[in-house]
Amino acid sequence: MVRAAILPAVGSPLEIADIDLPEPGPGQVRVRLAAAGVCHSDLSLSDGTMRVPVPAVLGHEGAGTVVSVGEGVTGLAPGAGVVLNWAPSCGSCHACSIGEVWLCANALAGAADVYAKRPDGTDLHPGLNVAAFAEETVVAANCVLPVPEGVPLTDAALLGCAVLTGYGAVHHSAKVRAGETVAVFGVGGVGLATLQAARIAGASRLIAVDVSPEKEELARSAGATDYVVASEKTARAIRGLTGGQGVDVAVECVGRAVTIRTAWESTRRGGRTTVVGIGGKDQQVTFNALELFHWGRTLSGCVYGNCDPAVDLPILAEHIRAGRLDLGVLVTDRIALDGIPAAFEHMIAGKGGRALIVF
C-alpha cells in the first residue's frame, strides 16, 4: 500500500488514501517519488476543463528513484534517479514521423489504463499517464528519463512540466532572439520558467504581467525588467514601455480568452503571440478579418513547450549547472500530499508560483 491523492469524480475534492499498487509488469517501472509539482493542468483535470478517466490519481510533474523494473526493461536499474515524462512519444504516428513528438497522437493512451486499485478493489487510472500525486507509482518505461547529472532529485521534478514548457515556449515556439522584447502573461510556475528562458535567450526587455501586485518581486527574481498589474489598460501599458510598438513576443501562460486577446494586442505589428495556457472550450477568442491582415501577427499554440524531453533535458541541465537557470525561483511552497487542495485554492486565487510536494 502507498499513500496517494485520489480524484474520485470530476469536480469532487481530492481524497488522501492508501492504494494497492502492483509490482511492475512487462515494460513497466516502479518509481518512489522524491517530489511532485502541483500544476494548473492538475486543477484543470480535477474541475473537468480537461478530460480524465476517473477515479484517478493525478500529478504529472515529478521525479524519483527506480524501485524495480518489469520484464524486458533495459537501461534502468533500482536506485536510478528519473524524471517522469507524462507525454511519451510512440515513435510511429504521423506527428512522430515528422519529428513533432510533442503532438504524438498516442501520448496519453496510458491514461485510460487501470494501474492500481483501492483496498476495496475499485479500479484507479493514472492521471496523465504517471500518477505523481503518490508516494510511489508504476509507469511505462518510456515515461521516465534519467535525471541529468548535477540536478538535485527534488528540483528535477520541475523539469517534467513547468521548465520544459516555459523553455520550449521561448526557444521552440516563439523562437525569441537576442535583443527582442518579451511579455509573459501569468507569473505562476510556467510563467516563471518562461521569464528565465527569455532572459537566457537574451531578451532586451522582459515584461511580466499578472493580476497580483504581490508577485512583482517574484517576477523580477526570474528576470523581469518591468512589471504590469493586469487591467483593461494592460496592452496600452506594454506599448508605453516599448516606444508605442508593442513587444516582439508575448507568451500567454493563463489560458483565458481575455488574457490571450490582451497578449495579442500587446504584440507589435508582425510580432509573435504564443499561447501556453490551457483554457476551457467556453473560452472563445475572436478576431476580425481586417485586423488579422493589418497587424500581420503570428498566433500559435504550444503543447509541452514543443519539446522533445530526451533532447531538451540535457540542455536545461547545462543551464542549471552554469547557474543560468534557477529552479528554486519557481517554488514558493513546499507541501505534503494533504496540502494539494490548498495549493489548488492558491492557484485559483492567483497566489504564488509552484507548490512542490516533497515526499
Q: What is the pLDDT of residues 327-349, one digit of tens each?
A: 999 999 999 999 999 999 988 88
Q: How far is CA 44 from the centre of its chain?
A: 12
pLDDT-derived band at 62, boundaries 50, 70, 90: very high
CA distance 38 to 157: 10
CA distance 85 to 341: 23
Which domain range does residue 53 map to? 2-160+326-358
pLDDT for residue 350: 84
Count CA atoms closer than 13 A to 128's CA, side-chain side: 23
Asked if residue 334 and residue 294 are part of one domain, the reply reads no
Mean pLDDT of 100-123: 95
Asked if residue 217 and residue 117 are part of one domain, the reply reads no
Residues forming beta bridges with residue 206, ordered by sequence position: 182
**Which whole-number Å values give the CA distances from 202 to 113, 181, 205, 210, 306, in the listed order?**
43, 9, 9, 22, 20
Asked if residue 288 and residue 332 are part of one domain, the reply reads no
**% of the chain surpassing 70 pLDDT:** 100
Q: What is the CATH number of the domain that holds 150?
A: 3.90.180.10
Average pLDDT of every residue of the chain = 96
Asked if residue 154 and residue 260 are part of one domain, the reply reads no
Asked if residue 348 and residue 260 are part of one domain, the reply reads no
Which of 348, 343, 356 has the alpha carbon at shortest distance from 162? 356
Answer whether residue 235 is part of any domain.
yes
Answer whether residue 314 is part of any domain.
no
291, amino acid identity: E
Answer whether residue 81 is part of any domain.
yes
Answer whether residue 318 is part of any domain.
no
Answer whether residue 320 is part of any domain.
no
What confidence tens digit (pLDDT) does each residue in 143-166 have? Answer: 999 999 889 999 999 999 999 999
Asked if residue 219 and residue 205 are part of one domain, the reply reads yes
- How many Å is the maximal CA-CA distance in the chain? 64
pLDDT for residue 280: 87
Q: How far is CA 37 from the centre of its chain?
A: 9
Answer whether residue 312 is part of any domain.
no
Answer whether residue 186 is part of any domain.
yes
Asked if residue 152 and residue 168 are part of one domain, the reply reads no
How many structural domains comprise the chain?
Answer: 2
pLDDT for residue 36: 97
Asked if residue 167 and residue 156 are part of one domain, the reply reads no
Mean pLDDT of 116-142: 96
Which of 51, 190, 46, 73 has the alpha carbon at shortest distance from 143? 73
Query: Where do runs of H (alpha helix) occur along the chain?
Result: 40-46, 94-97, 153-156, 162-168, 189-201, 216-221, 234-241, 257-265, 289-295, 309-321, 340-348
Residue 263, pLDDT above cutoff 90? yes
Report DSSP letters for 320-353, one per residue. Answer: HHTTS--GGGGEEEEE-GGGHHHHHHHHHTT--S
Q: What is the CATH number of the domain that holds 279?
A: 3.40.50.720
What confidence tens digit (pLDDT) does each residue in 270-325 have? Answer: 999 999 999 988 999 999 999 999 999 999 999 999 999 999 999 999 999 999 99
pTM value is: 0.95
Answer whether residue 321 is part of any domain.
no
pLDDT for residue 349: 86
CA distance 98 to 94: 6
- 300, containing H or E segment: strand 298-301
Asked if residue 143 and residue 45 are part of one domain, the reply reads yes
Asked if residue 135 and residue 255 are part of one domain, the reply reads no
22, amino acid identity: P
Asked if residue 150 and residue 29 are part of one domain, the reply reads yes
Residue 25, pLDDT above cutoff 90? yes
DSSP code, position 157: G
Asked if residue 203 and residue 137 are part of one domain, the reply reads no
pLDDT for residue 352: 85
Mean pLDDT of 7-19: 94
pLDDT for residue 230: 97
46, amino acid identity: S
Which of 349, 348, 352 has the alpha carbon at shortest distance from 335? 352
